């Protein structure tokens, strides 16, 4: 489990802050069945933070892989909506890249 408050403290705004969490997830990806991320009901409201964690994962993994592997707990509704928007956007970007010849 990754506890955002314990891992990041008040550093839940920038891409660099999000990269800390992203790197922890990548480190655990092949070691565990499910990665639980607990937000402790703290309001994040940072596109940069969420995109660095979850947007980058959505560029690397499919929706099915993310749904199976990541379990997000104790997240504010505003943050959940923001997170879902970022994931949808990055999944569309990923699909577009695979459909468009280079």
Residue 73's SS3 state is strand
Separation CA 36–CA 49 (nearest Å):
17
Q: Which of 9, 32, 24, 81 is nearest to 56 (CA)?
A: 24
Question: pLDDT tens digits, the chain, 102 residues: what are they?
Answer: 999 999 999 999 999 999 999 999 999 999 999 999 999 999 999 999 999 999 999 999 999 999 999 999 999 999 999 999 999 999 999 888 766 665
How far is the C-alpha of 88 from the C-alpha of 82, rounded, in Å? 10
User: Are β-strands 2-3 and 35-38 bridged in parallel, bridged antiparallel, or unpaired?
Assistant: parallel
pTM of the model: 0.90
CA atoms within 13 A on the CB side of 28: 16
Bridge partner residues of 38 (DSSP): 3, 73
Q: Report whether 47 contacts 81 (CB < 8 A).
A: no
């Amino acid at each position: 489990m990754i506890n955002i408050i314990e891992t990041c403290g008040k550093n839940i705004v920038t891409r660099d802050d999000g990269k800390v969490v992203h790197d922890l997830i990548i480190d655990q990806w092949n070691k565990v069945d499910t990665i639980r991320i607990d937000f402790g009901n703290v309001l994040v409201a940072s596109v940069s933070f969420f995109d660095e964690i979850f947007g980058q994962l959505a560029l690397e993994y499919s929706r099915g892989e993310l749904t199976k592997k990541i379990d997000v707990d104790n997240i504010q509704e505003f943050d959940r909506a923001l997170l879902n928007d970022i994931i949808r956007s990055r999944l569309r970007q990923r699909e577009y890249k695979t459909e468009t010849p280079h």
